[in-house]
């Protein structure tokens, strides 16, 4: 039997599914809540908040936060800096200065001129023992998506260790799946970014993999009469301009899928597909016209033949669903 639990965590909707004993769900929920208390920039006494306030001074960090910082730096290096979790100041400057529900309701904060010079060394330092860390005074760390992906990994792996035959941890679209060799993969719907309330773009199957989707069409707000979103381009320090509407990535771990989805979104489609291939990942891109671009290696995860997606425009599908045709009387 599959047991599930839904709750709010990390500023988003969390959903845990477990095939096995239901007693494993409450401890998994508590672990997610603990990671939020350690990593959220919206909690004043979180370790990430203390790190950001320290002005370059080293502060003690827990093993979980040390692991987050390691994976974040690894993501920065594997994408050549396209994934950059140290753009908190730029994100705040674009108006994302409070919990997103408040930003969406009331609009973004005032624009600010803060901008870290492009290039240079990675601004976060973790000591060899992993017990203290520091961040350069001119930078700010945001656990964001990589934190959700890593939390999904940690919780899914703990569920497997506790004996779950299958588990799926979903933190706002950052997923990690666990399935034994004799168990069915999990089916995951990928939203149509142009109509998230409508039919899914397609359904994927995953087992023992992470999955993440990035889009600029959901977390949007207005600041000074202009529309903003949360995907900051490290090359400009501003919300990214991309030919893509969304990117979905399947990788070995949730944190990797999140890192690669963010970096791929900032790349031309051909470069994005190559980035996935170079990092043993796969997935799909949906461009601004609604066309689907499949990455090499996606076929085992598809629930329909690739040819069924030829000449499909998800944007046209969404517009068609909203258009009522009136016949003459």
User: What is the pLDDT, as a whole number, of residue 328?
Assistant: 34
What is the number of domains present in the chain?
Answer: 2
Q: In 10 A of CB 298, how many CB atoms?
A: 18
Is 56 inside any structural domain? no
Which of 201, 147, 141, 136 shows the shortest CA–CA distance to 171?
147
Q: How far is CA 23 from the centre of its chain?
A: 28
Residues 250 and 148 in one domain: no
Same domain assignment for residues 172 and 247? no
This prediction's pTM: 0.89
Same domain, 237 and 267: yes
Structure tokens at 259: 């890192």
Q: Is residue 103 part of a domain?
A: no
pLDDT value of position 221: 41
pLDDT digit string, tens, across residues 135-154: 999 999 999 889 999 999 99
Instruction: Answer yes or no: do 193 and 152 share one domain.
Output: no
What does the block give as tokens for 223?
């600041």
47 domain-assigned:
no
Instruction: Tell me phi and psi for residue 20, to 5 degrees.
Output: 150, -135
Query: What pLDDT is recorded for position 325?
Result: 35
Co-location of 202 and 148 in the same domain: no
Residues 282 and 147 in one domain: no
> 162 is in which domain, residue-wise?
1-40+143-178
pLDDT value of residue 298 = 97
pLDDT of residue 193: 87
Do 292 and 190 lie in a common domain?
A: yes
| Phi, psi (deg, nearest 5) at residue 273 | -65, -35
Residue 211 and residue 305 in one domain: yes
The pLDDT tens digits for 64-114 are: 999 999 999 999 999 999 999 999 888 778 665 555 555 455 454 555 555
Residues 297 and 189 grouped into a single domain: yes
Closest CA to 214 of 174, 269, 256: 174
C-alpha 85/C-alpha 133 separation (Å) is 15
CATH number where 211 lies: 3.10.520.10
Sign of the Cα torsion 199, 252, 246, 300 reads negative
Q: Which residues of the chain have pLDDT under 50?
A: 103, 106, 108, 220-221, 229, 321-329
């Amino acid at each position: 039997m599959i047991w599930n639990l839904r709750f709010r965590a990390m500023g988003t909707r969390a959903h845990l599914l477990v095939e096995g004993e239901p007693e494993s769900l409450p401890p998994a929920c508590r672990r997610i809540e603990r990671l939020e208390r350690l990593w959220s920039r919206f909690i004043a006494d979180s370790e990430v908040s203390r790190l950001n306030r320290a002005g370059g001074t080293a502060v003690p960090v827990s093993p979980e936060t040390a692991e987050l910082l390691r994976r974040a730096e690894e993501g920065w290096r594997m994408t050549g800096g396209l994934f950059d979790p140290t753009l908190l100041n730029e994100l705040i400057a674009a108006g994302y200065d409070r919990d997103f529900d408040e930003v969406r309701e009331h609009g973004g904060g005032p624009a600010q001129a803060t901008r870290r010079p492009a290039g240079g060394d990675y601004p976060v330092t973790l000591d060899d023992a992993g017990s203290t860390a520091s961040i350069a005074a001119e930078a700010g760390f945001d656990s964001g998506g990589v934190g959700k992906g890593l939390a999904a990994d940690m919780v899914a792996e703990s569920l497997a260790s506790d004996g779950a035959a299958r588990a799926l941890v979903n933190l706002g679209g950052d997923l990690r799946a666990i399935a034994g060799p004799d168990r069915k993969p999990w089916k995951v719907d990928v939203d149509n970014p142009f109509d998230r309330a409508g039919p899914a773009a397609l359904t994927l199957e995953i087992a023992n993999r992470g999955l993440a989707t990035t889009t600029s069409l959901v977390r949007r707000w207005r600041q000074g009469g202009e529309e903003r979103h949360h995907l900051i381009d490290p090359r400009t320090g501003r919300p990214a301009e991309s030919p893509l509407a969304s990117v979905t990535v399947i990788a070995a771990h949730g944190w990797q899928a999140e890192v690669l989805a963010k970096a791929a979104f900032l790349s031309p489609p051909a470069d994005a597909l190559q980035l996935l291939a170079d990092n043993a990942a796969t997935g799909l891109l949906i461009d601004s016209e609604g066309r689907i671009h499949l990455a090499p290696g996606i076929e085992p995860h598809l629930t329909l033949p690739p040819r069924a997606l030829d000449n499909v425009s998800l944007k046209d599908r969404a517009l068609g669903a909203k258009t009522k045709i009136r016949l003459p009387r």
